Amino acid sequence: MSLAPNLLSQSPAVRAYLGGSFDPVHRGHLQMAMAVYNHLIAIADQRAVHVALLPNARSPFKDKSSAAQQRLTMLELAVADSPLEICTHELWQAPPVYTIDTVKVLREQYPNDTLIFIMGADSVVSLPRWKQGLELTDYVHLWVFDRYSLPAQASDLTLLGETPTKTKDETPTATTVATSPRENTLVPTESQEAKLIADLPDILQAHSTADPKELLIPPVDNLKTPLNGRIYRDKTAIAGISSTQVRQAIAAGASDTLTALLPPTVAAYIKQHQLYLE
């Protein structure tokens, strides 16, 4: 990303990270990351904005996963014509790699910057089961998506929100959704959304905010963010795609469906290297 204006280098940057296996990266990932990027650019007041995809190490939940270099190459292809970046901090580490350790390293690396982790509401609800999951907001803010829409060409696929970094102690749960066939959209019902909020631990509910500008407050010391991190719930509808369903579609030969789910360069790479065929 070009930081041509000198003013950008004089103020703390805003850095947001979307973690996941990205096996493979799909349009839902990119849509989520770009939604955050565009929103931050609009409110960052000339501060440098960096939104990065954070691929994790080989998941201990999967018997088979693509090689790290293959996943990285697909990410590079996917973000080539976008302002999105890639952070490889976790990629080359031996699993398990815990998100709490990553956020501590990032906070030490960028002590003066605003740090944000992007995730789905299902992942936030599951934070008590992560290693020190409730301590994430000691180091970063959370930008949470809890509405998903389903691409028309992918209407035969099960909706699952791709979650951030997952390790052996971080077992996410699927977001509960209701189907709206007329609009071919999957969104939480009002009662389900209320339950989702109620399911959050009290310590996290206290940090929620309806104003994303509250996430842009610079940190006040070397590690922790003020207010122990804020949680912003974004109502933007994001394509309800999971990498698992993409792999299943490829194995089933559903090439037409994949056109709606993957960036063309990523689809071509998968075809060239015959990935996910079994």
Closest CA to 17 of 106, 125, 92, 112: 106
Query: What predicted TM-score, i.e. pTM, was given to this entire model?
Result: 0.80
Can you tell me the distance from the alpha carbon of 179 to that of 71, in angstroms, rounded to the nearest whole number?
Answer: 32
Query: pLDDT tens-digit profile of 105-138?
Result: 999 999 999 999 999 888 888 898 999 989 999 9
Helix, strand, coil percentages in the chain from 3-state DSSP, rounded to 5 = 40, 20, 45
Q: Is residue 7 part of a domain?
A: no
| Range with lowest mean pLDDT among 19-28, 42-51, 173-182, 246-255 | 173-182
For residue 243, is it within any domain? Answer: yes
CATH of the domain at 156: 3.40.50.620
* Residue 199 domain flag: yes
Instruction: For residue 174, tell me if it sits in a domain.
Output: yes
The answer to whether residues 239 and 27 touch, using CB atoms and an 8 Å cutoff, is: yes
CA distances from 252 to 64, 227, 276 (A): 17, 48, 10
Pick from 174-178, 199-203, 256-260 the range whose average pLDDT is largest: 256-260
| Mean pLDDT, the chain, whole residue set | 78
Tell me the two tokens of residue 113: 């910057």
CB 88 within 8 A of CB 55: yes
- Residue 275 inside a domain? The answer is no
Residue 17: Cβ within 10 Å count:
27
Domain count across the chain: 1
Considering only residues 219 and 50, tell me which one the structure prediction assigns the higher pLDDT: 50
Is the previous residue joined to 96 through a cis bond, with omega within 30 degrees of 0? Answer: yes
Q: Cβ neighbours of residue 255 under 8 Å, at least 6 residues apart?
A: none
Domain assignment of residue 276, yes or no: no
Residue 5 inside a domain? The answer is: no
Instruction: Write down the number of H helices and E strands in the chain.
Output: 10, 9
Give the domain range for residue 221: 13-270
Residue 15, H or E segment: strand 14-20
Is residue 190 a part of any domain in this protein?
yes
Partnered with residue 232 across adjacent β-strands are: 143, 209
